[in-house]
Amino acid sequence: MKRLLGAVLAAAAIGALVSIMSSTSACIDFNEPDGGVRATTILAPDQTAFQTVSPVFERRCGTLDCHGQEGRPLRIYSGLGLRLPNDAGNFPGTTATTPDEITTNYRTVIGLEPEEMTRVIAGEDVPRDLLILKKPLMLEAHKGGPAFAPSGDPGETCITSWIDNALDKNACNQAVAGF
């Protein structure tokens, strides 16, 4: 009788476990109702053109005491600031920003608010809706204070033109002059 009771309890436990697992997997369904697979597409500005834009983030945002820190969001790598760990002897202040660092900066910038960036690129929102402009313009609280002038700063012009796929190289160069 005891054996029978034990077998019944074991079967019940296994049944409950199978039931829980099947209900859990039912909640994690990556298939869309129409049979397609769910995917998240992010729209982002041009990566090649970012080579001209990266110095603006490096010089105006990425000093070692601001976004050139490992523990800070929007982490920016640069030749004069934080270096991407490497075996090539690239230390702060020794060599120019490397292509790998520019690529990492690009991913940092477009990955800060991927959904908002997508809306801006799609034309639903404007560049000033992005944190990368709201913060330096002090349209939103920024611990580092204003990093761009409230209007007409070449840094904003550079970033906005990049997002609008009409890169203003002169503005980008002006934005880093003297910094």
Partner 1 sequence: MRHAILAILALVSCSDPVRDGQISALPGENPNIPVGEYHRAGQPCVLCHGPGGPAADASFAVAGTIFADPTDAVGVDQATVAFTDTSGSSFTTTTDCVGNFFIPRPGSSVPGATWDPQFPIFVRIFKNGVSRTMQGQIGRERSCANCHNDPLPTSSQIFSSVGHIALYTDNPPPPSTTCPVPPQVGP
Report the interface residues with partner 1, using CB under 8 A: 59-60, 63-66, 68-70, 80-86, 91-93, 143-145, 147, 179
Instruction: Quote the least distance from Cβ 120 to partner 1, whole Å.
Output: 26
Q: Which is nearer to partner 1, 106 or 148 (CB)?
A: 148
Nearer to partner 1, 81 or 154 (CB): 81
Please identify, using beta-carbon distances, which residue of 43 and 66 lies nearer to partner 1.
Answer: 66
Smallest distance from the beta carbon of 65 to partner 1, in angstroms?
3
Query: Does residue 90 contact residue 100 with C-beta atoms inside 8 Å?
Result: no
Q: 98 or 118, CB closer to partner 1?
A: 98
Checking 163-170 for CB contacts under 8 A at 24+ apart, the result is 163/45, 163/120, 163/121, 163/127, 163/130, 164/127, 165/45, 165/46, 165/49, 167/46, 167/49, 167/52, 167/53, 169/52
Report the nearest approach of partner 1 to the CB of residue 150 (Å).
13
Under 8 Å between Cβ of 63 and 81: yes
